[in-house]
Amino acid sequence: MSKNLAPATPPNMPVTPTIRQKGKKEKGMQRIPGQKNFWQRLKNQKALILMSLPFVIWLIVFRYIPVFGWTMAFQDYKPQNTFFEQEWVGFKHFKDLFNEPTFYRALENTLGMGILGLIFGTLAAITFALLLNELRFTKFKKLTQTISYLPHFVSWVIVANIVTTMLSVSGPVNGFLEMIGLIDTPINFMANPNMFWGIVTAAEVWKSTGWNAIIYFAAMAGTDPQLYEAAKVDGASRWRQMWHITLPSIRPVIIVLLILNIGNLINIGFEKQMLLGNNIVAERALVIDLYALNYGIGMFRYSFGTAIGIFKSVISVILILIANGFARKVGEGRVF
Amino acid sequence: MKKRLSILMLLLVAGLLLLAACGGDNSVDSDETDTTVTDNTTDEKPSEPVTLTFYSEDGEEKSFDDPIAQKITEATGVKLDIQYPVGGNDETIPLMIAGGEYPDLIFAKGDIGILIEAGGVLKLDDLIEERGDNIKAMYGDQLDRLRNSLDDPGIYTVGTAGVHNELLETSGTFQIQLEVLRELGYPEITTLEEFEDAISTYYEMYPEINGEPTLPLSLLGSDWRWLITVGNPAGFAGGFPDDGQWSVDTNTGETVYKFLEPEYREYFKWLNGMNAKGLLDPESFTHTYDTYISKISSGRVLSVADQDWNLTDARFALIDADMEERTYAPLPVTLGEEYVHQGLKDYGFTGGWGIAISSTTEHPELAFDFLDWMASEEAQILVNWGIEGEHYEIVDGQRVLFDEVRERMNTDANFSKETGVGYYLHPFPRWGTGAVDSNGQSITTDTREQIVEDQLDVEKEVLAEYGMELWIDWFPQQNELEISNHGAAYNFTIPAGSDIQIIQQRADDITEQRITQAILADPEDFDDLWDAMLDELEAAEVSKLNEEMTKLTQNVLELWSGNVE
């Protein structure tokens, strides 16, 4: 229902330089030069265009055509009526949405958990990739990497159960804290609203660090070994090499991923919050997607749900423009 | 620039072609459905069995080929192709409506309202009048309770709830371990005070059971079960019947969001005290259903406030582990002597949900005859008791189940699914537990004698000490309780996307969170928290909710009075 504007990469046209065919001037026919140019280039690149066509069609069918569904947000949509029988209501659903105090709470929680996840998720992934990159024993390195991204394939239902069991009053975490004498009475972690964001972030980091590190790790592998050799000759320690060679060389990757992730800040889903949450922490656990489910689709209020979807898309676009603009200002790699 | 534009045009054309292709498909589909509507069968019974598709929101994977199903096909010429929701049922009905394709029979629960609005189901009034003798006989003067609404008083569904019920068991009230009653010398427990005394005394005597800490009272407030283990028990303690989230005056139709009633405040204040005294399981609001059931199965939870059907697994586990004395006895506990427990209340036929016949079916009359036959005495005996000579025999003119059949019925969870005995009761039209056939015998297999026979030995022993035969003897009897004129408010069809629905969702969110916080708070803060919650509810327009809901109840009362044409 809610159409997420994925970080909108425009349908990339192949930009391979074309060989201009000079000296083949046509006589007698008056053609608009641009047009001729176009058909000729099209002909030259037909293989490339044919190859990219399926993806462009895919993009249009699944990313652009569904946007027509946004009209629902301005109607009182009833599934049994055709498009022309729907009743148009203007901005009614948006007004309802912005008058709802619960919605602002959901927005706060979504952005809060999104930002925490972004900061700690990125830091953890980069740190992990750096450490892994320093390992010299290849077999151990491969094994560690494989193990580290396994949690990515575990469903949130299971992760949530593991987390609640670990953190329960009689669970291992409390047992450990009591054993080392840090606390006297067990802490009921899951019943403390102030800890909820932290617990969600920690679970997220545990689950996705290994997976997210893959791309950084791959970027590091592309660094020119001569740089390290030169640094070694100059007497740089391992730390210095990490700081002055490895990190700068993956900086463009970091920036691009950051921009894309910032665009997705608001799309954090609701599985983890729904599965880990309970009535005590509900105030801190309500996120926009869950709100849209309970108050929109769950009540057959398709139009209201669509309005929320549009709102999310607008926020995403704004966030991505800000992040991209910032990257452009500081002269770093950017998305567009 | 130009280059880009042209390519975009090209893509647009490609996209349009694709769209056109999809559009073509659609039109073919709708043509098909249009032509089929007019094709009605008028035969009494087709020579070859006809397969009717049946979507049941409570359905599961099951083929229609067990012995009972075969008998049904023999008698009606109908085979069912049962469809069921896959992965959550929120979207199935809206998808049906959007696609305009319906199965022949639909059990849509509360979504029936949008189906009626979309014109997806048939009005059954004429069919009932012309050929619904069995249905008329079954519902009798409660036929009005099947009606849809004041604005549209047609009958669209039949079935689901039993007609003429006599409760022989209760569910959803406080329950206490038989062992606690035995150990304490069979005390009389009818108030919260006595209940608290009993569990705290036992807790002091046995702080550990089987080497693990004893839990005097455990609830399950971490998911939707909050409603049945936290919200509803409060109502029972306050002497209210179960009306979902509502408190209804059945004579005037005055309806109030139930947590506004002072009795609820009093109950939760008591629960708050229980928590402060360490008598409430501290994980009551955070543990998962699995953890909750495993705690109960270990025998260390002295009391619960839950529905029997939610505890079935734990009960079987306790019996398996030879801890029959750790199973539970229901208690008629209220806030004080002046309150009357409504556990045995007769809500009458509750109406509301039922099976509808879709407007696109090719066999509307056959489908109706099938439903009508299901309401007949012959069918009701078949679906309840099974086949004579195979599942039961007649001894001295009485139906008696074979021992091994009864044994399997009580212990084997797959029994009814495999044999079909007892399987085709819900959501079809059915008689209730109090109904008798033309020979004066009970239509259902749950008779007083049989419940006694099924009791565990420990249960019998404890009951005998109290001088009772069944647990319901402990409760105020059905004939002492007021009869409900509106059925039960939780069965009302609430219009989708209406103010009632939205405000109620808001109010439910508020109460589930705030009451949970209030229970776990310091007892000194309880009153402030409760008042703050009432303010919050007021801000969420709960008074408007009460007004709207009162109107709805009054409409139901008028509709059911039998004076609406």
CATH at B492 = 3.40.190.10
Query: Is residue B45 predicted with pLDDT exceeding 90?
Result: no
Residue of chain B nearest A164, judged by CA positions:
B287
Show which residues on chain A lie within 8 Å of chain B, measured between beta carbons.
11, 13, 34-35, 37-38, 41, 53, 56-57, 60-61, 64-65, 78-80, 102, 161, 164-165, 168-169, 188, 190-191, 278-280, 282-283, 294-295, 297-302, 304
Record: contact B501-A299, CB cut-off 8 A: yes
What integer is the mean pLDDT of B78-82? 93
Q: Looking at the DSSP assignment, which residues form a beta bridge with residue B330?
A: B175
Min CA distance, B534 vs chain A (Å)? 17
pTM of the shown model: 0.79
Are residues B341 and B380 located together in one domain of the fold?
no
Question: What's the domain count of chain A?
Answer: 1
The span from the CA of B66 to the CA of B416, in Å, is 10
Q: Which residue has the higher pLDDT, A209 or B446?
A: A209
Q: d(Cα B272, Cα B489) in Å, to the nearest integer?
A: 28
Q: State the pLDDT at residue B358.
A: 95
Distance between CA atoms of B180 and B467, rounded to whole angstroms?
17
Most A-contacting residue of B2, B3, B284 (CB-CB within 10 A), to test interface: B3
H-state helical runs in B321-436: 364-374, 377-385, 403-411, 415-419
Q: Is residue B130 part of a domain?
A: yes
pLDDT of residue B42: 45
Q: Is B131 exposed, middle or buried (0-12, 13-18, 19+ CB in 10 A)?
A: middle
The neighbour count for residue B83, using CB atoms within 10 Å, is 16
Task: Give the contacts of B280 (CB within 8 A, at least 6 positions apart).
Answer: B216, B217, B218, B219, B271, B274, B519
Q: Would the CA dihedral through B477, B482, B486, B488 be positive or negative?
A: negative
Helix, strand, coil share (%) of chain A residues, nearest 5? 70, 0, 30
Output A235 or B141, whichever has higher pLDDT.
A235
Size of interface A-B (CB pairs under 8 A): 102
Per-residue confidence band for B416, with pLDDT thresholds at 50, 70 and 90: confident
pLDDT digit string, tens, across residues B401-415: 898 888 888 777 788
Query: Do B143 and B196 lie in a common domain?
Result: no
Enumerate the residues of chain B whose CB falls inside 8 A of the CB of residue A169: 282-283
B14 part of a folded domain: no
| B497 contact A CB<8A | yes
Mean pLDDT of chain B, nearest integer: 86
Domain boundary among B403, B426, B449: B426
Measured between CA atoms, the residue of chain B closest to residue A285 is B513
Can you point out the beta strands (E) in A19-173? 75-76, 87-88
From B426, B442, B476, the end of a domain falls on B426
Beta bridge partners of residue A88, listed in sequence order? A75
The tens digit of pLDDT for each residue in A276-288 reads 988 889 889 999 9
pLDDT greater at residue B275 or residue B143: B275
Q: What distance in Å separates the CA atoms of residue B383 and residue B191, rounded to the nearest whole number?
A: 41
In a mutational test of the A interface, the residue from B509, B520, B533, B535 whose CB has the highest number of chain A CBs within 10 Å is: B509
Q: In this structure, is residue A205 part of a structural domain?
A: yes
The token duo for A251 is: 């900086």
Q: Rg for chain A (alpha carbons), in Å?
A: 26
Does pLDDT of B20 surpass 90? no
Closest chain B residue by Cα to residue A49: B7
| Chain-chain contact of A169 with B283 (C-beta, under 8 angstroms) | yes
| pLDDT of B388 above 80 | yes
Residue given tokens 């075969």 in the structure block: B70
Question: What is the model's pLDDT at position B2?
Answer: 45
**For position B510, what pLDDT does the model report?**
94
Q: Kind and range of the H or E element at B517?
A: helix B499-520
Closest CA to B538 of B548, B546, B528: B546
Q: Which of B336, B308, B379, B329 is nearest to B73 (CA)?
A: B379
| Neighboring chain B residues of A190 at a CB cutoff of 8 Å | 286
Peptide bond into B427 cis (omega under 30): yes
pLDDT band at B12 (very low <50, low <70, confident <90, very high): low
Q: Which domain holds residue A325?
A: 94-329
The stretch B494-513 carries a mean pLDDT of 88
Nearest to A215 by CA among A281, A121, A120, A140: A121
* 3 state SS for B139-199: HHHHHHHHECCCCCCCECEECCCEECCCCCCCCCCEEEEHHHHHHCCCCCCCEHHHHHHHH
Which letter does DSSP use for residue A245 in this model? Answer: I
Instruction: Enumerate residues 6+ apart whose C-beta is below 8 A from B489.
Output: B243, B244, B245, B246, B248, B255, B549, B553
- Closest-CA distance of chain A to residue B13, Å: 10
B412 occurs within a structural domain: yes
- Average the pLDDT over B275-283 and give the result: 94
- The last residue of one of the domains, among B426, B443, B465, is B426
DSSP string, A257-298: HHHHHHHTTT---SHHHHHH--TTTHHHH--HHHHHHHHTGG
3-state SS class at B317:
helix
Residue B535: give the domain boundaries. 174-346+457-560
Spatial distance between the Cα atoms of B372 and B133, rounded to a whole number of angstroms: 7
B224/B263 same-domain check? yes
Question: What are the helix and strand counts (H, E) for chain A?
Answer: 15, 2
Asked if residue A29 is part of any domain, the answer here is: no
Task: Determine which of A13, A161, A270, A279 to mutate to test the interface with B (most B C-beta atoms within 10 Å).
Answer: A279
* Residue A227 tokens, joined: 């740089």
Q: Are residues B133 and B213 in the same domain?
A: no
Same domain, B203 and B271: yes
Note the ipTM here: 0.74
C-beta contacts of B296-299 below 8 A and 24+ residues apart = B296/B218, B297/B321, B298/B209, B298/B210, B298/B212, B299/B177, B299/B209, B299/B210, B299/B323, B299/B326
Average of per-residue pLDDT across B193-198? 96
| CB distance B250 to B485 below 8 Å | yes
Q: What's the DSSP call for residue A88?
A: E
More confident residue, B348 or B120: B120
Rounded Cα gap, residues B80 and B63, in angstroms: 8
- Answer positive or negative: Cα dihedral of B39, B43, B49, B51: positive
Residues B340 and B389 in one domain: no
Q: How confident is the model at residue B110 (pLDDT cuts 50, 70, 90)?
A: confident
For the stretch A253-278, pLDDT in tens is: 998 899 889 988 998 889 999 889 88
Contact (CB<8Å) B286/A283: no
Q: Residue B83: which of B114, B51, B37, B111 has the closest Cα?
A: B51
- CB < 8 Å to B90, chain A: 297-298
On whether both B49 and B131 belong to a single domain, the answer is: yes
Neighbour tally for A313: CB within 10 Å? 20
Instruction: Return the pLDDT at A31.
Output: 53
Asked whether B112 and B143 are in contact (CB, 8 A), the reply is no
Residue A291 lies in a domain: yes
The CATH number linked to A290 is: 1.10.3720.10
Give the closest residue to B554 by CA, choosing from B348, B155, B252.
B252
| Distance between start and end Cα atoms, chain B | 70
Would you give the distance in Å from CA B365 to the centre of its chain?
A: 29
Same domain, B210 and B232: yes
pLDDT band at A159 (very low <50, low <70, confident <90, very high): very high
- Identify which of B22, B18, B1, B26 has the alpha carbon closest to the alpha carbon of residue A56: B18
Helix (H, G, I), strand (E, B), or coil: what is residue B400? strand
The verdict on residue B95 lying in a domain is yes
- B292 and B248, same structural domain? yes
Claim to verify: residue B240 and residue B290 sit in the same structural domain: yes
Task: Output the pLDDT for position A71.
Answer: 92
Q: Name the DSSP letter for residue B337.
A: T
Kindly state the average pLDDT of the residues B250-270. 95
Number of domains chain B contains: 2
d(Cα A171, Cα A190) in Å, to the nearest integer? 12
Inform me whether the pLDDT recorded for B140 exceeds 50. yes
Q: Which amino acid is at A270?
A: F
Q: Which two tokens stand for residue B480?
A: 């002492």
Cα–Cα distances (Å) from B259 to B251, B322, B463, in that order, read 20, 40, 35
**Closest Cα in chain A to B521:** A280
| B318 and B381 housed in the same domain | no
Residue A133 belongs to some domain of the structure = yes
Query: Which whole-number Å values give the CA distances from B292 to A289, B221, B287, B311, in the listed order?
Result: 28, 10, 6, 10
Distance CA A260, CA A170 (A): 41
Tokens 């009526």 locate to A81
Domain co-membership, B190 together with B64: no
Nearest CA to CA, how far is A115 from chain B (Å)?
25
